A and B are shown apart, each in its own frame.
Chain A
């Protein structure tokens, strides 16, 4: 009997699997009949199949994408989307897939990797599709859609979500130190003074997390009016006075024992150190919020904008877009899918789940932000942010920036000499690019 029930369930699943999405199982037999009717009717019309790939983040995000795809299948009944998540090293996989012409029609594109793909002409420009279906560039946050615009002025990716950095702070440690909590008008001096008062190296508590991380340090460069690369990405500015000054400020925290790298407090990632109360302040993105909620539910924390530097605000934007492959046999169907996934309706769903910040500018007024002010801080960070992207050899720029900081931290090298060395290495790599 048990086996028979199991068989029935498997059969029901097999039939429902042909429908756009699996239906809940309890009323099994009835569902089977309904979906079967639907399927036979659909056979008349030829359906366009498109494949979609992204990295497999966490189960919740996968479920979110699948629910969006289900909504889209109702909206575009003539398009069948096959979701093929890639586990492991996404970029190695997707690059070899592109090389063999086997890549999916739609795939995730990180801004950091975008320059290489666009320079090789493996992506479809989307302007015509956008015009046809009335999707305007202005609908999206400007810095995001501009980031996915190629050197020819055409849009090659529709941003799906993004993150920026916020200053996360431990409310209890601020209360203990008897100093006011950070606010959006803070300056570099405020940051340093607070770090000084919050630190207690004897207890293993440090004011600010200052990792040798190329995904954190550049905000200080931007706040100091500097840049990492020249606007054409043909040369680096890692040895410019603005960068060196920012690096001196950034590394002074650890030198004065009022800042620490993750290893100093025995963790792999400073988010853990923050959760454990060993780092009073850290610069992290929205990913820290669900982590703290799950791992450190009792921690009292807040988040605000990174402080203003001598030249005002600066932030980093991490963003991912949907792109269409040049090899796609159904670019129209692929576009319809992207259009639906990034529609205001879908993006509102994304926002209310709290997993990611959607890319549509209009959503800044959404009521979700009224109850989640820390997410609004990260959302608004895009206004004065710079995309996390350093051109065709972004990997080398990142690596050298990280090493410059490591040399200062681990080998006591002079800041200026270390960043000059990094700039030399980057230039060498740019020259070797053939």
Chain B
């Protein structure tokens, strides 16, 4: 594998993924980044390049930066860091790329190298946050997620709450736009229908965003699963590990992954093998990428492969044949609907057609496709408050595209998008509201 010694030059102090998974199999980071031919076909797909016209903020630029860093031809610098930190990790470039260069993964590895656990990025922006209300509440929600998803050390270590004048989490909760009084799992635990008597046909994985913020989406998903697919159970899972992977350390991410894989193993032994269903596309995509966390360790890699093969995003799981007869558009009262394809659904998992196959026959001409439906909304996890200006402009573009088809409802499938677009609509196009796919199905289409 290591045809070029330079792969080993990449420092070992910071834990990295041994191999990145690419369309062309497992590759060491230097081999993966060398696949960039500099053809530039990715440029227009990149939200940050489209916005700025700057090569440093383009996928090709980022790959060349990382390549030169690895080759030792360039020293880490603030400007290089800017190129790397502004990447949304949306994956649109890889989708367009002929060689399928995994730019987002490459950028993540380089971030780990340059700033350890991403500490410096948080510090820099924190002072800016205080004066911006919207970003502020977004940040709080996000940090709240970090905390609840078990990454207490991260939020605390970063001193963000302190910088935000928020010494305690309780305070933060009060400021959040909406936080449910009871979390999803608590509510579902009491549901008799989910006790799992006999054979199960699905396992619900409660993503942190759904668990702590958008509880109603989770309830909707579970209702649909029960109604259409029969018995299933709640996984009582850990955080999927994505925040740790993106902003923390690989070890933390691996820990989370091991726990979840263990949980699944136990469930499948007690009951039977069944698909693991999520209603947050970011988490679903990450669960599907577990194998790359364990690349280089054959046994765990195989385990992860088996686990991730069971993972299904709710947007792909529901098939028209199973649900169409239960849907009608009466309750919709002529409302116009559009779909925002979350990056981690469309670029991360290749899901785009599936939900349209369900919605189109029911909504017909009321499904109005917005332009650039798979262009990032600028949420991208912590991006919205680590790169405030860029995020804002990308969001403006998204809202402009949304408003161009005059919808009443925008459908999305990832927590980060729900938060970001909710914020954008409120500010710029209040006549539309954002809804998760499951909630939309349940509220508007499912016949009683």
- Does A associate with B in a complex? no
Residues of A within 8 A of B (CB): none
B residues sitting closer than 8 Å to A (CB atoms) are none
